[in-house]
Amino acid sequence: MEPTKTLAAWQSECAKVQSALAEAGVETAADLPTLEEVRVRFLGRKGALTELLKSLKDLPLEDRKACGPQGNALRGSFEAALAAARARLEDAADAASLKKDAVDLTLPALRPPRGRLHPLTTTLDAIAGIFRRLGYSWAEGPQIEDEFHNFSALNIPDDHPARDTQDTFYLQDLPRLLRTHTSNVQIRAMEKSKPPIRIVCPGRVFRHEQIDATHSAVFHQVEGLVIDEGVGFADLKGHLQAFLESLLGSSTKTRFRPSYFPFTEPSTEVDVKCFFCPGSGCPACKHTGWIEILGAGVVNPAVLRAVGWDPEAWSGFAFGIGVERVAMLTHGVRDLRDFYANDLRFLRQFDEDLV
Ligand code: PHE
């Protein structure tokens, strides 16, 4: 191709581009978009520097050799200036966003309201925890139950007063009831397994009771059942004594009083010396000086027979602990209704129970 451009013309264009570059303000560009505009103006497809470099080919060969390096040097220094400016602007943008989003780590945090376990929950956990350490495992059973598991299998005869609607909540139109004790879990657990067995079963129970300071229509029990070879009343006393000492301290006065339950023989009820009076008589202990916290006894052979376990080969004991009664004693609560009133002033007293 014939040269169409003279050296002088190219040099003068080159000088123009050079001074335009000097005035383009690469070093002072305020932001990245502005810098990009400058780059496109010179190095875009139709940019001034691009055009200048393209027009090298229109020079005579000799001149091309001299002007080529000059043009490339111009582009090199422009690109270097662009890169430096870009780095400067990016650093500045980073610094600005760090400043904008800065978090004051010294600012005291807002305290979220702290939840806490209900005193009945901590009491229940404490009771179950002691028995776990004695090797008992955990079992649960239904709150809605049938007469067989709540009564018949436990040797409670059809005409027993506990079955009366005055004591038991029956579900309408169904042969179902709300369990009156956790002893139903004894039956359900034995039905599901083979001897030996050693379980605790915590749960909610329901009775058609007149509500007062020591009675509620809904309350909690922890049932225990141990069946093995040659287990008897001495084992029952040993386990319950260990439990009471661990829960209430070894100096606490307790008494085992003879009692009657259809599902145990012999049977006993365990009282703890009233913590409130103490012992002289007050409303919390119904003026007896003692508070009953559990019923227990040696499992009646009729109960083992009801689940098909051989009473000649196996024997054991069972107990049912009243969780509310224990919580009243260990927390110094005189009226059981306080546990259900959901009054935060009452509940906040037990913050320190949280572990
Ligand atoms: N179920 C009895 C009650 O609710 C307590 C109990 C359980 C007694 C196990 C003896 C054995 O009063």
Q: How confident is the model at residue 216 (pLDDT cuts 50, 70, 90)?
A: very high
- Report the share of the chain in percent with pLDDT over 90: 75
Q: Contact, 296 vs 264, CB < 8 A? A: yes
Atom 4 of ligand 1, residue of closest alpha carbon: 181
Task: Decide whether any atom of ligand 1 lies within 6 Å of the 323 Cβ.
Answer: no
Please tell me the predicted confidence (pLDDT) of residue 355.
39
- pTM exceeds 0.75: no
> How far does residue 170's CA lie from ligand 1's centre (Å)?
20
Please check the confidence at residue 227 and state whether its pLDDT lies above 70.
Answer: yes
State which ligand 1 atom lies nearest to the alpha carbon of 225.
9
Ligand 1 pocket test: which of 216, 219, 263, 324 has the largest number of ligand atoms within 8 Å of its C-beta?
263
Please tell me the predicted confidence (pLDDT) of residue 107.
87
Same domain, 56 and 160: no
129 within domain boundaries = yes
Task: Decide whether any atom of ligand 1 lies within 6 Å of the 261 Cβ.
Answer: yes
Please tell me the predicted confidence (pLDDT) of residue 1.
66
Residues 6 or more apart in contact with residue 60 via CB below 8 angstroms: 3, 7
What's the CA gap between 137 and 212, in Å, rounded?
Answer: 34
For 332, the domain range is 119-350
Task: Decide whether any atom of ligand 1 lies within 6 Å of the 319 Cβ.
Answer: yes
204 within domain boundaries = yes
Same domain, 298 and 338: yes
146 within domain boundaries = yes
> How far does residue 268's CA lie from ligand 1's centre (Å)?
9
Q: What pLDDT digit, counting tens, does each position of 299-346 carry? A: 999 999 999 999 999 999 999 999 999 999 899 898 999 999 999 899
Q: What pLDDT digit, counting tens, does each position of 160-208 carry? A: 888 887 799 999 877 899 999 999 999 999 999 999 999 999 999 999 9
Angle between helices 119-133 and 233-248 (to 10 degrees): 130
- Residue 292 sits in a domain whose CATH number is 3.30.930.10
State which ligand 1 atom lies nearest to the alpha carbon of 317.
11
Same domain, 211 and 148: yes
Over the range 63-97, which residues count as b (16 or more CB within 10 Å of their CB) and which as e?
bbeebeeebeebbeebeebbeebbeebeeeeeeee
Q: What pLDDT digit, counting tens, does each position of 103-153 carry? A: 888 988 888 877 888 999 999 999 999 999 999 999 999 999 999 999 999
246-263 average pLDDT score: 94
Q: What is the DSSP string of 59-79?
A: S-HHHHHHHHHHHHHHHHHHH
Same domain, 279 and 215: yes
Same domain, 175 and 216: yes
Atom 10 of ligand 1, residue of closest alpha carbon: 296
Same domain, 272 and 342: yes
Same domain, 204 and 247: yes
Structure tokens at 171: 């579900």
Please check the confidence at residue 3 and state whether its pLDDT lies above 50.
Answer: yes
Closest CA to 258 of 244, 237, 235, 279: 237
Please tell me the predicted confidence (pLDDT) of residue 354.
44
Domains in the chain: how many in total?
A: 2
Same domain, 178 and 96: no
Same domain, 96 and 125: no
State which ligand 1 atom lies nearest to the alpha carbon of 221.
4
Ligand 1 pocket test: which of 179, 181, 204, 271 has the largest number of ligand atoms within 8 Å of its C-beta?
181
Going from the C-alpha of 154 to that of each of 160, 186, 188, 318, the distances in angstroms are 12, 9, 11, 12
111 within domain boundaries = no
